[in-house]
Amino acid sequence: MIDHSKSKCRAAWNNMYWNVHAKASPCWLTVGEIDRWTVDRSIGDIWNGEHYKQKRQDLVEQKFTGRCFECKRDIDNNVWPLARAYSQYSVKKYPTMMEMELSNQCNLECVMCSGELSSGIRKNREGKPPLPMAYTDKFIHQLEEFIPHLEELRFNGGEPFAQRIVLDICDMVAEVNPKLKVNIATNGTVYSKRVRKILEQNNVHINLSIDSLDPERYAAIRINGKLSKVFQNLERYKEYCTSGGRELCIMVNPMRNNWFEMIDFLDFTNKHNTNLWYNTIRYPEEYAIWNLPSDELKNIYDGLQKRLDDWVPYVDKKNNVHITKHLIDEQIGTWLLDSYTRE
């Protein structure tokens, strides 16, 4: 395998990201640039194939081809680039990390989402036929060779706890590598007997998405969801994660209709003793913050900074202040500077 030491990104050496169309790539940015799994083209064929080899060679030569170019600026400016996420995983013969968005099956229709990751949106908002399932049982069978070598397995997209293929893979992981760190991103509205069994048999770490602490605003953002149900399941996740020394992280999407709640999430996560992370969105543009005029971005920047300054004296159990400072200074601050250039 090509030496990775001169590359600023390790993703092509240690990660396989799978999307709903069975396309594999080093990360979500590069989906569609590598290869597609079929019953005749195996996981191993893709990992050791020419497309992955070429991506590795490009990165060694500092060629940010395709959508890798979008990450280059963050790397140059040290704005927590996506590439940094893969620096913690080993580089070996097999991938040591896999990220999976295997189905768009989801019970919610969030305003910032699309039919690619929500079956309800695809049907009701986009008026399109259901996405065909791109994976078969053969894919799960092939995974058995790779699971023992993984350091982490992540399930994103749609609602993993509502997807049979995710639960089937978790059953297999429980047999093959029960100590493997399995990270599941959930909207927190699905909890069943089988989900409870999956949690009991695996080493599951939870990323719980909550975009507002106000019931009405939450319902307007996460259509079909009820905040009371999420809070009920949050208590279950807290008990599960605390008892097993696992991570529970609250994931928030800062948008035009909820940015003013970001400091409230500091209080919330501190109260519940959970981690906090912000997923900034770029699309749909009508909900994004990055493309606002400079005066509106300045108002957001100053407003959050003032509230954070007032909050700092309180005890920060999970270092979430650091995460929030990064959101304000590095992310929103960079967008503010960009807005001056656009104008």
| pLDDT tens-place string over residues 56-98 | 999 999 888 888 887 877 777 766 667 788 888 988 999 999 9
Position 305 scores a pLDDT of 95
Alpha-carbon distance of 66 to 69, in angstroms, equals: 6
Alpha-carbon distance of 120 to 229, in angstroms, equals: 19
Alpha-carbon distance of 299 to 287, in angstroms, equals: 16
Identify each DSSP E strand in 152-302 by its residue range: 152-155, 181-186, 203-209, 222-223, 248-252, 275-278
DSSP 8-state class, residue 149: G
Task: Give the dihedral of Cα atoms 109, 97, 34, 252; nearest 10 deg.
Answer: 30
Nearest Cα to 48, choosing from 86, 113, 95? 95
Position 65 scores a pLDDT of 82
Position 79 scores a pLDDT of 65
Q: Count the alpha carbons within 13 Å of 285 in the hemisphere toward its beta carbon.
A: 3
Which residues of the chain fall below pLDDT 50?
none
Single pTM value for the model: 0.92
Position 2 scores a pLDDT of 81
